[in-house]
Amino acid sequence: MPPPGRASEKKRIQRGHRRLLTRRDRITLAFMAGVPTVLHVLLVWVTALASILLAFTSWDGIGFDSIKWVGLDNFKQLFTDNPQFWPAVEHNVIWFVVLILIPTPFGLFLAVQLDKKIRFSRVYQTAFFLPVVISLACIGFVWQLIYNPDTGLINSLIGANKPGHYIDWIGDPNLNLWAVLVAASWRHTGYMMILYLAGLKSVDPSLREASALDGANEWQTFKNVIFPTLRPTNTIVLVVTIIEALRAFDLVFVFNKGAQGTELLSILVTNNIIGESSRIGYGSAIAVVLLFISLIVIIPYLIATFRKERSA
């Protein structure tokens, strides 16, 4: 983020700006702010609100007069009757825990190493970052070549590719979530590395020198000096990782369409639309759970970000 300008001077200028506006300018401005806002609010916020409202109704989607208010029925059914719901919540949580515990620290570790002004740094960075550029759908197919029971790399290497000896990395509900998480972590590492590299670049080099002069070794310098100054990056990393865990969809859909073992909230919502029996109110109830969890993360983050900006 570029540093915001000096506050008092900015206010003065903005007031000056306003006085100089003609009528036409005001119309232009209203149009410039209005058109994008209407489009964004209509397609993102009105639909999010509609999700909340529809979650308390039952609707066949044909005419508006067939919308029936059913209160909390959809949620009751979701929490008590749906055998896929709690596994999905659990898998979303596991997804986050794995991403934050394994690829995130590893991405930070790689960033710290690559920040040492070593040779070939760019080459290494490109290799680690490549999976972030490729679509998740493509990644799903690439990892299938590794996990396929009969033709995949792993089973071919360990001799489990003969009928009767298959290890079904994609179909076995005890294995498939972990298999897909390996692929997700593979991608997440590069993403975290890039975020941390940017964070490390903004660390004042004199801090490092001062710490070295005090006789701290590299690990002590990192733990006591560098890591605390990475706080803003850590916040972003945490938010990005939570959002990634809630958004997880493409990889699992390509892998096994979210069959037993890999259910996710996003998959349940989608299957309710493109599946055989589309129940609008019920699908919206799942979406509301997802929205609720997202907002717990998004709102405090945005408040913190914008408060900082305002005071700056």
Partner 1 sequence: MSTVSALPEQRTPIRPARVLLHVFLAGTALAWLAPLLWAIFSALRPYSETSNRGYVSWPHTLNLDNFTNAFEQSDMTHYFMNTLVIAVPAVLLTLFLSSMVAFYVSRFDFRVNLFLLLVFTAGNLLPQQVIITPLYRMYLLTNLPGITASGKLYDSALGLVLIHVAFQSGFCAFVLANYMRSLPHELTEAALVDGASVWRLYWQITLPLCKPAMAALATLLSIWIYNDFFWALVLISTGENMPITSALNNLSGQYFTDPNLVAAGSLLTAIPTLLVYFALQKQFVSGLTLGSAKG
In the bound complex, what is the minimum distance in angstroms from residue 154's beta carbon to partner 1? Answer: 10
Close Cβ partners of 303 (under 8 Å, ≥ 6 residues apart): none
Encoded tokens for 104: 């995130």
- With the C-alpha atoms ordered 130, 135, 141, 147, is the resulting torsion angle positive or negative? positive
Comparing CB distances to partner 1, the nearer of 9 and 81 is 9
In the bound complex, what is the minimum distance in angstroms from residue 92's beta carbon to partner 1? Answer: 10
- Among 281, 282, 280, 252, CA closest to 266: 252
Residue 290 CA from chain centroid, whole number: 13
Buried b (16+ CB within 10 A) or exposed e, 93-116: eebbebbbeebbebbbebbbebbe
Q: How far apart are CA 38 and CA 16, in angstroms?
A: 28
In the bound complex, what is the minimum distance in angstroms from residue 89's beta carbon to partner 1? Answer: 14
Comparing CB distances to partner 1, the nearer of 97 and 130 is 130
In the bound complex, what is the minimum distance in angstroms from residue 237's beta carbon to partner 1? Answer: 9
For 8, 160, 212, 302, the CA distances from 307, given in Å and listed in that order, are 16, 57, 35, 8
CB distance 209 to 120 below 8 Å: no
In the bound complex, what is the minimum distance in angstroms from residue 52's beta carbon to partner 1? Answer: 10
Comparing CB distances to partner 1, the nearer of 116 and 163 is 116
CB distance 68 to 58 below 8 Å: yes
In the bound complex, what is the minimum distance in angstroms from residue 294's beta carbon to partner 1? Answer: 6
Comparing CB distances to partner 1, the nearer of 2 and 205 is 2
Comparing CB distances to partner 1, the nearer of 94 and 142 is 142
Q: Which of the 8 DSSP states describes residue 41?
A: I
Comparing CB distances to partner 1, the nearer of 115 and 172 is 115
Comparing CB distances to partner 1, the nearer of 32 and 72 is 32
| 3-state DSSP helix/strand/coil % of the chain, to nearest 5 | 75, 0, 25
